[in-house]
Structures are given as C-alpha cells and as structure tokens.
Chain A
Amino acid sequence: MKILVPVKRVVDYNVKIRVKADGSGVELANIKMSMNPFDEIAVEEALRLREAGKASEVIAVSIGPVKTDETIRTALAMGADRGIWVKTEEAGIEPLTVAKLLKALVAAEGPSLVILGKQAIDDDCNQTGQMLAALLGWPQATFASKVVVGEGTVDVTREIDGGLQTLRLALPAVLTTDLRLNEPRYASLPNIMKAKKKPIEEKSAAELGVDLAPRLEILSTSEPSGRTAGIKLASAAELVGHLKTAGVL
C-alpha cells in the first residue's frame, strides 16, 4: 500500500518570532524555515511502516510557494520515495483549501493511509487531517501515539484528555501524529545526496480544480499582552503570606 505524507514548511521550532510593528503579520524575512516537527514524526512513521513491509511507497507532498520543495527534499532525504509539490503564489493556504487539494491528490494516487502532523506550529490550527478525512469519507484517528497496521485495518492509540484511547480503523484512513509517536531520524549525508535525484512532481491548484481564495480575513496580528516579572521572595513563609493576600490560597 501507498502512504501519502503531507509536510508543511514553517518557521523553525527554535526561532523566536517577531510581530511586525504595523500589525500586518509576523516577520518572515531571513528566518530559518524547517519542516513542521509533527510532520517529521508523520514521515518517520510512514518510513517505519515501509521498512516493516507494511507499505510499498511513501509519497511526500507539500503545498506552497518557491522553496517549498526544500521541505519535500527533507522528507526525501529522510527516506520518502518521491514528492509532489502543489506550487502556489502565496504561503499560508488555509487548512480547508489544503484538505481539498490533498483530496484531489488522494484521488490520483490512491494511498491506503494518509499520515499528517496533528497541527502546524505556525498557525496552530489542528484541522487539516480531520478535514481531509471528512471530505474523503474516511475514518480518522487524531493524536496518534501508537500505530499498528493489520489486515485491512489499523489500530491506533490516541492521546486524549485524561489518558489513552485505542481505535480500530478500516483502511483507507487518515492519521494525525502526536509528539510521542516516534523519534524522527536525521537524514544522513549519503541520503541527502540520494534525495537530490528523487523526483518531485509539480502541480498547480488549478489543475487539481481547487480555488485558493481564503475564507478568513486576517484583520491584524499583534503581540500577546505581556507579563512582567514579579518579585523574588526569601522564604516559603513569605510566599504563603503573599498568596493569602492575593486571595488565591
């Protein structure tokens, strides 16, 4: 079976972002970009399923403007077999639109499993996987911490509030990854070199029949209200006194 893994190019996990002074967005010029960390976990899980003989091919797909192919290339260097790049003018395509584009790619490629990160660390939406599953009419398992592929089914342990839940999904299905599903591998230098020769197919939203117009109008982007450092105290007794005064004990 084929596994499709959508990957997103986002501001690197370690970068402290800055809001533009005019409120028009977040400063993205000359900022280090990387693959969304949850998507790395998705790629890793797909590769492990292929290595275990459960999958035949892992296809990495990304949607975005110039340089988005670098993120696909990262997935290829980790071990994905080939890439698909839906090239757009702008970054920041909304999850609903991404889900529609992915639906069209699923129709063309026929994967049995789509594995996505549970959320992207830029817009923090946590929507795309669920939306894709709904549009396809497929079952879903969000926040996966364990994935076991059986005969025509997949058993997924999910991180839910208060503990864990295990579901059995009939394939084809959509999974989204949580933080502790696996520890993604680093691409080795030989694999980075090999990845340069792997094919990336370019597609446009128009040929997939999807309108990219956003539904949310971004009115402004602002700094969160800050907190100022309080006072350092000398003893536990002093702390309890302050907490009593503040009325929180």
Chain B
Amino acid sequence: MADTRPTLLLADHDDASLNPVTARALTAALALGAPVHVLVAGENARAAAEAAAKLDGVTEVLLADGPAFAHRLAEPVAALGVALAPAYGALIAPSTAFGKSVMPRIAALIDVMQVSDVIAVVAPDTFDRPIYAGNAIQRVRATDATKVLTIRTASFTAAGEGNAAPIRALEDAVPASGASFLGEEIAASARPDLAAARIIVSGGRALGSAENFHAIVEPLADALGAAVGASRAAVDAGYAPNDWQVGQTGKVVAPDLYVALGISGAIQHLAGMKDSKVIVAINKDEDAPIFQVADYGLVGDLFEIVPQLQAEIAKAKA
C-alpha cells in the first residue's frame, strides 16, 4: 500500500526571512505526491513562518519558536525532527549548511539511509543524485519506509507564492545538547544570495589580486544585479572569501546567466556551475576547459574586456 503520510520540509531561514532555496526544495517535496508541511524552527521566527505559509502547495506550517532553536543548531532541530518523524513519510531539506548538518542526524536516529543532493524525483522512492563531483549520476531506490532527503536546489524551480497555509505553533521540548553558540560573522551584502541568484559573475585566479577582484568582478556583478562567485583557486589565493566558492566543495549553482572571468574550468569548478542556463567565459587561454561548457566565449584580456562589457551593458539597459 502506498504511504499516505505527508512530507515534512525543514525550512532554511534566518528567523526574519525564508532562504529562497526553501521554495525550490518545496518543488522537490511536492513531487513526492503527498501533502507538504513546512517546519520552521528558530527563535522569533514568526516572520519566516509567515513567508513559508505563502508558498503554493504547503498544507500547514509548523512553527517551533524558542531559545532552544536559536541559530538552528543541528542537535535540537534534529531532536525535534525525530519527534515529528513518525507522522511523516518523508523528511526533506535543502542541501544548505543547515540541511546538511541536521538531516543525517535525523536519518541516523530513525535508522534511515539518507539520499543526499537529490537532483530529480523519479518516483516517490526513486531519486537521481550526482556522485564523483557530478561526473556521474546515480539512480537509487530508497528501501526504508521513511525517506530522508536533501535537495540540490539548483536542480528545481521555486514554488510560487499566493498561498495562506495555517501556522500551527509546536510546543515540543527538546533535550539540552552539548553544543552552544558563541558567535557568527555573516558578511552583510546587498547582492543576491549566491545559491538562488538569477545571474552570477565569478572570478578566477587570473584576476591576480584581491584588489583586482574587487575592482573588476564586483562592479560587473553590480551592473548586472548579480551575485559574486569565485573559483577554488581564487579563494585559495585569498582574492575572495570562502563562502563565495562555486564548485564541488563550495556552492552548486544553476543561474540563468553565469559569467566566468579568468576561470580555467577545473572539473571541481564545472561541477558547481555546469547546469547554468547560459554560460559566458572570458579567458586569455583559448584552450581553457571552461570554453567547452560555455555558450559564449571571449578570448582575451579580461582587464580590457570587462570594462567594455560593462559599458555595453549600460548602453543596453539605457
């Protein structure tokens, strides 16, 4: 008999607002065919819960609000997930730092083998996921009665908004854990979030310095209203912060437009951006592997081409 239990989606949010990748993970959750409830766990997270209630297809929002869930540490959120799990046929989260930290804890405690980084829902128990940095795609059937999934959100479109799902406050207490929050350094940025941006401009080692990265990559990104990314080489060289890294070990993105400036195109990097709709590469080396995946390539000095490109974009937008 088919599992008629609903699906529980764990929202990624910062209390004040919903991470836009949550709406993409919702699309994957809805593909399982069961009603979807969204769990918002946090402290003073009512605003995030209200944002989740607007998402099309959500039947109910569960709000676990209190100091125990401040900063969404993995231990208390997983304990809550385990308490809720018996009523659900599947537990799902986006593959963000939050989802990756929490979901395997839940899976282990309910004795389920998790399917990580789902890129396609083939059937309610069958999923495609990348292995070997996306160089192969594995199709797996999960035999556990309950499914635990993390979703590679770049592979799914965002669910729409226009819903008004009811919000139910949860009163579940969770046991104290041995982890406590000391501090956070989150860079404030007016730019869109890398994981959900429509346009991304990324810079590589050819930028040569943090100053050049700042002077060349960032203005082009701002002219396009884009998020800024970087190759592993550029991050290793200290040109860009770690959390800008696009690639197998960084963020996996699939924007409408990806502009690669001075990025050679190591396998590791391609794994993180090759599903972008349109890829533009600007590189001095005409044999750079990035040109094998780029729709449009410009061979030349990026220090000359990027200012020209910015001028042309300004003209086109005028």
- Chain A residues with a Cβ under 8 A of chain B: 11, 16-17, 19, 26, 94-96, 99, 119, 121-135, 138-143, 145, 155, 158-170, 173, 178-180, 214-224, 227, 229-237, 239-240, 242-244, 246, 248-249
Whether A229 pairs with B136 at a CB distance below 8 angstroms is no
Closest to B299 in A: A232
- The minimal Cβ–Cβ distance linking B294 to chain A, given in whole angstroms, is 6
Contact present for A168 and B179 (CB under 8 Å):
yes
How far apart are B132's CB and chain A's nearest CB, in angstroms? Answer: 5
With a cutoff of 8 Å between Cβ atoms, the chain A residues found around residue B237 in the complex are none
> Which B248-298 residues sit within 8 Å CB-CB of chain A?
248-249, 251, 256-257, 267, 274, 277-280, 286, 291-298
* Complex alpha-carbon distance, A127 and B105, angstroms: 8
Enumerate 16 A-B pairs (CB-CB under 8 Å) in ascending A order. A16-B267, A96-B113, A126-B117, A130-B100, A155-B182, A159-B97, A161-B19, A163-B187, A165-B71, A165-B183, A180-B242, A217-B141, A218-B138, A218-B139, A229-B291, A240-B316
A244 to B236, CA, bound (A): 34
A199 to chain B, nearest CB (A): 30
**B101 interfacial contact with A, CB 8 Å:** yes
B231 located at the interface, meaning its Cβ lies under 8 Å from any Cβ of chain A in the complex: no
Which residues in B have their C-beta under 8 angstroms from that of A231? 295-297
- With A99-B108, A139-B177 given, can you name 18 additional A-B contacts, CB distance below 8 Å? A17-B132, A119-B249, A122-B131, A128-B104, A130-B74, A130-B100, A135-B108, A142-B97, A161-B97, A165-B183, A215-B143, A216-B143, A221-B139, A227-B292, A232-B299, A239-B312, A244-B316, A246-B278
Q: Smallest CB–CB gap between A30 and chain B, Å? A: 17
Q: How far is the CA of A232 from the CA of B282 in the complex (A)?
A: 10
Interface residues as binary, B11-32 with A (CB distance below 8 Å gives 1, 0 otherwise): 0000000010000000000000
Chain A CB count within 10 A is highest, among B71, B102, B249, B286, for: B249
Residue ID in chain A nearest B298 by CB atoms: A233
CA distance A222 to B131 in the complex (A): 10
B contact residues around A145 at 8 Å (CB):
242
* Closest residue of B by beta carbon distance from A244: B316
Are A230 and B113 in contact (CB-based, < 8 A)? no
0 or 1 for each of B90-125: is its CB under 8 Å from A? (1 = yes): 000000111011111111110111111100000000
Chain B residues near A164: list those with CB within 8 A. 184-186
CB-defined contacts of B316 to chain A, threshold 8 Å: 240, 244, 249
Asked whether A11 lies within 8 Å of B132 as measured between CB atoms, the reply is: yes
